């Protein structure tokens, strides 16, 4: 969307703003695309992580069992990259909407922590479906802790360890083939079922169960609004599809009526 959107887009934005304006509950589902303009690599887009690296070598429990040093080296790199990034106008607009108008909840697939950084009130904190780059978990006792530290993956003995039991730590991220945290997923499903609008921003909508949240809202009579720079499997069933970069479109969508 250019700074001066065309007629179709303007109509789409107005329709989406009306749906959001009338909605008591809005659930926002975000993916890597919302952080692209902050400099965080996406997964499947051009230059995406899965174009450069094999997910099965880096983001599965089998890969970690095979070579924890390689996996930690990669997550250490991702942590460094994301630590250079700041929330963009889309993260900020969503955090502001969650703070200023009740009934807006953010559910994210992202592990970059940028929604949490943009949040100024508890209700703007996202449900993180796939975990966080900045949390680690013990492979022995299951303990979890915040972890923004530098990862030293020189040898297996220098890898992050659990301070409580000395067990090997792993990134607290949901890997392929693993289940999401049940309570977090149940909360996300409940939000989606109770929402009159599911605003889907910057996801390729191919990874389940996250991609299924929009369908839950639709099945319960709600509307799906999609913001993406390209088509996705959701585009055909969304009430409104807005083509454009999230940091431009989302603030437009959520700007107070006067602006
Ligand atoms: N604004 C809006 N959308 C964008 C932008 C942008 N600036 N840049 C890219 N996109 C869109 C792409 O067109 C694509 O549809 O964002 C989407 C990013 O898709 P993916 O890279 O597949 O990321 P995501 O959907 O979040 O992946 C889901 O897969 O790899 C796993 O666990 C990982 O959470 C991740 C999950």
Instruction: Give tens-digit pLDDT for 21-38.
Output: 999 999 999 999 999 999
Task: Count CB-CB contacts under 10 A for residue 130.
Answer: 20
The average pLDDT across 128-149 equals 97
Q: Is 171 in the pocket of ligand 1 (CB under 6 A)?
A: no
Question: Residues of the chain with pLDDT > 90: what percent?
Answer: 87
The CB-side HSE value for 31 (13 A sphere, CA atoms) comes to 27
The average pLDDT across 116-145 equals 97
Q: From the CA of 110, how far away is ligand 1's center (Å)?
A: 9
Picking from 43-47, 136-140, 173-177, which range would have the lowest pLDDT averaged per residue?
43-47
pLDDT at 259: 55
The average pLDDT across 117-140 equals 97
Q: Is 48 in the pocket of ligand 1 (CB under 6 A)?
A: yes
Ligand 1: which residue has its CA nearest to atom 34? 109
Q: 68: closest CA among 78, 81, 79, 59?
A: 59
The average pLDDT across 44-71 equals 86
| Residue 256 pLDDT grade (very low, low, confident, very high; cuts 50, 70, 90) | confident
pLDDT at 54: 80
Ligand 1 pocket test: pick from 35, 43, 179 the residue with the most ligand atoms within 8 Å of its Cβ: 43
- For the stretch 149-202, pLDDT in tens is 999 999 999 999 999 999 999 999 999 999 999 999 999 999 999 999 999 999
Q: Cis peptide leading into 209, omega within 30 of 0?
A: yes
Q: Which two tokens stand for residue 36?
A: 């692209």
pLDDT at 5 over 70: no
Q: Is 243 in the pocket of ligand 1 (CB under 6 A)?
A: no
Q: Name the DSSP letter for residue 68.
A: H
pLDDT at 82: 97
Q: From the CA of 13, how far away is ligand 1's center (Å)?
A: 21
pLDDT at 1 over 60: no
Alpha-carbon dihedral of residues 75, 231, 249, 87, nearest 10 degrees? 0
Q: Which two tokens stand for residue 216?
A: 């839950």
Ligand 1: which residue has its CA nearest to atom 4? 33
Q: 171: closest CA among 198, 134, 141?
A: 134
Mention every residue, 6+ apart, whose C-beta is less than 8 A from residue 258.
none
- Contact between 78 and 69 under an 8 Å Cβ cutoff? The reply is no
Ligand 1 pocket test: pick from 31, 60, 90 the residue with the most ligand atoms within 8 Å of its Cβ: 31
Q: From the CA of 162, how far away is ligand 1's center (Å)?
A: 32
Residue-averaged pLDDT of the chain? 94
Task: Count CB-CB contacts under 10 A for residue 146.
Answer: 10
> Bigger pLDDT: 52 or 155?
155
pLDDT at 232: 97
Quote the CA–CA distance of 255 and 4 in Å, as a whole number: 15
Q: Is 212 in the pocket of ligand 1 (CB under 6 A)?
A: no
Q: Is 132 in the pocket of ligand 1 (CB under 6 A)?
A: no
pLDDT at 46: 73
pLDDT at 57 over 80: yes
Q: Which residues of 65-102 are buried (b: 16+ CB within 10 A; e: fewer)?
A: eeebbebbbbbbebbeebeebebbbbbbbbbbbbeeee
Q: Is 126 in the pocket of ligand 1 (CB under 6 A)?
A: no
Q: Which residues are catalytic?
A: 130
CA 22 to chain centre: 25
| Residue 55 pLDDT grade (very low, low, confident, very high; cuts 50, 70, 90) | confident
Q: Is 109 in the pocket of ligand 1 (CB under 6 A)?
A: yes
Ligand 1 pocket test: pick from 29, 204, 234, 238 the residue with the most ligand atoms within 8 Å of its Cβ: 204
pLDDT at 2 over 60: no
The average pLDDT across 115-136 equals 97
pLDDT at 50: 76
């Amino acid at each position: 969307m250019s700074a001066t959107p065309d007629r179709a887009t303007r109509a789409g934005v107005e329709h989406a703003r009306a749906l959001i304006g009338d909605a008591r509950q809005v659930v926002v589902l975000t993916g890597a695309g919302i952080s692209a303009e902050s400099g965080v690599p996406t997964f499947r887009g051009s230059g995406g992580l899965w174009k450069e690296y094999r997910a099965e070598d880096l983001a599965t429990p089998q890969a970690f069992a095979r070579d924890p040093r390689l996996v930690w080296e990669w997550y250490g790199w991702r942590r460094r990259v994301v630590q250079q990034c700041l929330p963009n106008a889309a993260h900020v607009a969503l955090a502001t909407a969650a703070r200023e108008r009740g009934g807006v909840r953010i559910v994210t697939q992202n592990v970059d922590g940028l929604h949490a950084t943009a949040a100024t009130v508890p209700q703007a904190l996202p449900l993180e479906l796939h975990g966080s780059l900045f949390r680690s978990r013990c492979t022995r006792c299951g303990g979890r802790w915040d972890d923004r530290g530098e990862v030293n993956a020189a040898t297996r003995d220098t890898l992050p360890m659990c301070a409580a039991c000395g067990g090997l730590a792993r990134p607290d991220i949901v890997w392929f083939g693993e289940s999401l945290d049940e309570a977090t997923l149940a909360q996300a499903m409940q939000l989606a079922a109770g929402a009159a609008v599911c605003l889907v921003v910057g996801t390729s909508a191919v990874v389940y169960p996250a991609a299924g949240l929009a369908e839950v809202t639709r099945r319960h009579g709600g509307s799906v609004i999609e913001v993406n720079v390209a088509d996705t499997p959701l585009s055909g069933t969304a009430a409104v599809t807005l083509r454009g970069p999230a940091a431009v479109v989302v603030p437009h969508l959520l700007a107070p009526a006067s602006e």
